[in-house]
Amino acid sequence: MADSYRILLGENELPQQWYNVQPDLPRPLPPYLHPATGKPVTPDDMLPIFPMELILQEVSQERWIEIPDEVLDIYRLWRPSPLHRARRLEKLLKTPARIYFKNESVSPAGSHKPNTAVPQAYYNKMAGVTRLATETGAGQWGSALSFACNAFGLGCTVYMVKVSYQQKPYRRSMMQIWGSEVYPSPTDRTDSGRAILAQDPESPGSLGIAISEAVEDAVKHEDTKYALGSVLNHVLVHQSIVGLETKKQLQLAGEKADVLVGCVGGGSNFAGFCFPFVPDKLKGDNIRMVAVEPTSCPTFTKGAYMYDFGDTAGLTPLMLMYTLGHSFVPPGIHAGGLRYHGDAPLLSLLVHEKVIEARAYPQNPVFEAAIAFARTEGIVPAPETAHAIRAGVDEALKCKETGEEKCIVIAFSGHGFLDLAAYDNFIGGNLIDFEYPDSKIQEAIAAIPKFPG
C-alpha cells in the first residue's frame, strides 16, 4: 500500500458537539457595548435581530454545545471533510516538513461558510422566524446562507453590494438557484438604501450600506431576523467543527500538529480551525497558530486593540478587537473575504494574549503559492485561502533550512472556481501589491471615538 493522501472520517465520526473557547480563555471576554449608552449589551438588546438560542451561544460559558440532529443531517451532505497530506507540494519544496490541509472547499457553497449558515438557519426556524435577511459582498456568505435557508424552508433576502451584483453575477446565480431573493444594494426597499440613493442614484454600494439594509429589514419585519457570517462568538462556535475534525484526523494519521495556519477576514474560518487546539497550547503544548492577513488590510499586524464598531456606519455594538478603524476602506484586492476592518473579538483576545501570532502578505507572493499548490495538489485555492497556503509554504521552507520535520496544517477554506479572473490578473502580471501607508492607518484609528473609556 502506497503512502496515503487523504485522511477520511466516516459519518459516524462526525463530531456531535461544537467547541466553545470562552471557558478556556486566559481572561474573560469583555462585553459588547451599546452604541448609544456605552453600557454592556443585554440579550434583550439583540433579540430584534437574532433568535434567543444564538444569543445564548454568544455569551455561553459551556465548553461543549450539542449540535442538533437536524443540523448534523445537513452537515452530512459533505462532512466530515477530508484532511489531505500535501505530498506533492512537499516534494516540490524539498522540505522535511509534513504538510496537511483541511479541505472545506467540498461544501455545497465551496467554502467553510455553510458550517455556520446551517445552524443559524436552523435556530431561526425553531424560533418561528420565516425569513432571514443578510448582506453579501462577492457572495460567499450570501450563497452559503441561501443554501442553508433553503434546506430548512426559510425565505432568504440577500442585499448584495451593487458593484459585485453587476460584475460578479455567478454567486448571485447560486443564491437564486437555492431560492433566495437577491437585491443590488443600495435598494429602495429600506430607509437606509433610499437615503443613499437620494444622495447618489448611481451609488455602487458598499458592505456597510448592505449591512444597514439587511439589519433594517430584520428589525422592521417581525417574522424576519438577521444573520452574520463571521466575527461573532456563535459563528466561531459553529466553525469549531473544522478544528475538531482536524484533531481526529491528525490522530488517525499518527500526527501532532506543530504549526496551524489559516487566513483571517473576520476570523471565523481560522478560529474554527484552531480554537480546539487552544487548550493544549495553554497547557504547555508548543503548537504555533498563525493568522494570515493581506498587507492591504493589516488588522492584526498594524491595527489597534480597542473598542470599535463592527460596521462602517457605526450602528452596531462596540466590540473590543483589533481594528483599523471602522472608517478604514481597504483597496479592492482579490481576496474580498479578507477586507474587513476588524477581527473577531475572541480571536483578537487570543492574539493580544500572544496565544496566536499574526502575519501579513502582499498579493503577488500569495498567488505564487496558490499556483504552486494548484500544480501539485490539483485544487485551485480561493484567493483568501491562498494567504494561508503562502504561510504554510514559508513555514515548510523554514524547515528546509533548519532540517526540522515539523507537521504543518493549513486551513483550506475554499476553492477558487469563482475567482479565476483574479488568477488571470496574476498570470497577466496585472496584480498590484498594495501596502497601506501607516499614516492612513493611524488616521483611521485616531478617528475611532474613545467613547467607552
Binding site for a second copy (CB under 8 A): 1-2, 4-6, 8, 10-12, 69, 72-73, 76-78, 84, 88, 106-108, 110, 147, 150-151, 169-170, 173-174, 176-179, 371, 374-375, 377-380, 415, 417-418, 420-421, 423-424, 427
Paired with 156 in beta bridges are 132
The continuous run of DSSP H or E covering 261 comes out as: strand 259-263
CA dist 131 and 121 (Å) reads 9
Residue 156 CB, nearest approach to a second copy (Å): 12
Residue 54 CB, nearest approach to a second copy (Å): 22
Q: What is the DSSP letter of 288?
A: E
Minimum CB distance to a second copy smaller for 135 or for 419? 419
Minimum CB distance to a second copy smaller for 101 or for 277? 101
Minimum CB distance to a second copy smaller for 5 or for 451? 5
Residue 426 CB, nearest approach to a second copy (Å): 9
Q: How far is CA 125 from CA 14, 28, 148, 231, in A?
A: 23, 31, 11, 22
Q: What is the DSSP string of 153-188?
A: T-EEEEEEEHHHHHH-HHHHHHHHHTT-EEEEES-S
- How many Cβ atoms from other residues are within 10 Å of residue 66's Cβ? 10
CA dist 113 and 181 (Å) reads 19
Determine contact, residues 17/66, Cβ cutoff 8 Å: yes
Query: Is residue 6 classed as helix, strand or coil in its secondary structure?
Result: strand
φ, ψ at 158 (rounded to 5°): -115, 125
Q: Which three cell numbers stand for residue 406?
A: 515539523
Q: How far is CA 335 from CA 272, 372, 392, in A?
A: 19, 18, 17
User: Could you tell me which of 301, 249, 244, 290 has the C-alpha nearest to residue 388?
Assistant: 290
CA dist 41 and 58 (Å) reads 12
Q: Which amino acid is at 423?
A: Y
Minimum CB distance to a second copy smaller for 84 or for 406? 84
Minimum CB distance to a second copy smaller for 9 or for 355? 9
Residue 172 CB, nearest approach to a second copy (Å): 8
CA dist 259 and 375 (Å) reads 23
Residue 102 CB, nearest approach to a second copy (Å): 15
Minimum CB distance to a second copy smaller for 11 or for 188? 11
Residue 307 CB, nearest approach to a second copy (Å): 39
Minimum CB distance to a second copy smaller for 319 or for 369? 369
φ, ψ at 40 (rounded to 5°): -55, 140
Residue 427 CB, nearest approach to a second copy (Å): 5
Residue 201 CB, nearest approach to a second copy (Å): 25
Residue 182 CB, nearest approach to a second copy (Å): 11
CA dist 436 and 332 (Å) reads 12
Residue 2 CB, nearest approach to a second copy (Å): 7
Exposure string over 258-284, b if 16+ CB within 10 A, otherwise e: bbbbbbbbbbbbbbbbbbbbbeebeee
- How many Cβ atoms from other residues are within 10 Å of residue 204's Cβ? 16
Minimum CB distance to a second copy smaller for 1 or for 36? 1
Q: Provide the H-helix boundaries in 288-419.
A: 299-302, 345-352, 363-377, 383-402
Minimum CB distance to a second copy smaller for 357 or for 368? 368
Minimum CB distance to a second copy smaller for 177 or for 397? 177
Residue 393 CB, nearest approach to a second copy (Å): 16
Determine contact, residues 346/353, Cβ cutoff 8 Å: no
